[in-house]
């Protein structure tokens, strides 16, 4: 049953991993996946995380008529000149699974020693009050790490099994969800956004 006491925010994503993390990080709001309103996804034609987050948010706002939050995120690997970057979700091709993308990443990094596998997760969050909102709220977060030689761990989603976490000496898929939320790019961006919303 929908709890009407909480402000409802539509999340412009169908990624269950993201939906879980964002609901945990914004407990004062009721996060509704965009699939409640639309089955189509926005075309991510931008060349930056900000542009793609705005495209996704506007698309969901046009169909839901509620405030919308969109996250565009990805992994930037130094040895690959910042790839897969904005193409992280479709690195191994349109419709690629997390495993396909992880396999491709390992292949591209074959022969690169661990010390040169520096990388970071980037997250940009956009919030629109409505589709024509001329003043979107914007927040971003970055999480530094390295790419492991083999996948480790079963938590999280996406590239988590390959992302080695500084100071914890494990992959982000081996962190309990609360620990990942404390450290992650998405956690940092959402805490910034939550502060803006309080104001």
Active site residue ranges: 72
Draw the binding track, 50-89, toward ligand IMP (x: CB under 6 A; -: no contact).
Answer: ---------------------xxxxx------------xx
Q: Does 105 bind ligand IMP (CB under 6 A)?
A: no
Give the H or E element holding residue 186: helix 185-198
Query: Applying CB under 6 A, which of residues 38, 82, 106, 157 lies at the interface with ligand IMP?
Result: 157
Cβ closer to ligand IMP: 75 or 190?
Answer: 75
Query: Applying CB under 6 A, which of residues 59, 117, 186, 188 lies at the interface with ligand IMP?
Result: 186
Half-sphere exposure of 167 (CA within 13 A, CB side): 5
Which residues are registered as beta bridge partners of 33? 11
Q: Rounded distance, CA 28 to CA 187, Å?
A: 15
Q: Does 160 bind ligand IMP (CB under 6 A)?
A: yes
Residues in contact with ligand IMP, counted by CB under 6 A, come to a total of 18
Cβ closer to ligand IMP: 34 or 88?
Answer: 88
Cβ closer to ligand IMP: 4 or 70?
Answer: 70
Which residues are registered as beta bridge partners of 72? 124
Cβ closer to ligand IMP: 66 or 190?
Answer: 190
Query: Applying CB under 6 A, which of residues 15, 24, 62, 152 lies at the interface with ligand IMP?
Result: 15
Which residues are registered as beta bridge partners of 10? 32, 68
CA nearest neighbour of 108 among 81, 144, 74, 90: 81
Q: Rounded distance, CA 117 to CA 105, Å?
A: 11
Q: Rounded distance, CA 186 to CA 190, Å?
A: 6
Q: Rounded distance, CA 23 to CA 168, Å?
A: 25
Give the H or E element holding residue 33: strand 29-33
Cβ closer to ligand IMP: 71 or 83?
Answer: 71
> Looking up tokens 């169909």, which residue turns up?
63
Stretch that binds ligand IMP, among 57-65, 132-140, 146-154, 158-166 (CB under 6 A): 158-166
Shortest CB 61 distance to ligand IMP, Å: 17
| Residues at the site binding ligand IMP, with contacts judged by CB under 6 A | 13, 15, 71-75, 88-89, 101, 121, 156-160, 184, 186
């Amino acid at each position: 049953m929908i709890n009407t006491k909480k402000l409802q925010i539509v999340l412009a994503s169908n990624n269950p991993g993201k939906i879980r993390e964002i609901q945990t990080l914004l407990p004062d709001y009721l996060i509704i996946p965009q699939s409640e309103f639309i089955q189509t996804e926005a075309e991510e034609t931008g060349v930056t995380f900000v542009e793609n987050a705005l495209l996704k948010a506007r698309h969901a706002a046009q169909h839901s008529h509620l405030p919308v939050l969109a996250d565009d995120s990805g992994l930037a690997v130094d040895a690959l000149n910042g790839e897969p970057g904005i193409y992280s979700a479709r690195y191994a091709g349109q419709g690629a699974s997390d495993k396909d993308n992880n396999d491709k990443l390992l292949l591209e990094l074959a022969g690169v020693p661990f010390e040169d596998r520096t990388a970071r997760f980037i997250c940009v969050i956009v919030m629109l009050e409505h589709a024509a909102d001329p003043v979107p709220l914007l927040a971003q977060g970055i999480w530094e790490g390295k790419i492991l030689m083999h996948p480790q761990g079963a938590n999280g989603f996406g590239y988590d099994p390959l992302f080695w976490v500084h100071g914890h000496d494990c992959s982000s898929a081996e962190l309990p969800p609360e620990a990942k939320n404390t450290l992650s790019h998405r956690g940092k961006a959402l805490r910034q956004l939550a502060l803006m919303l309080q104001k």
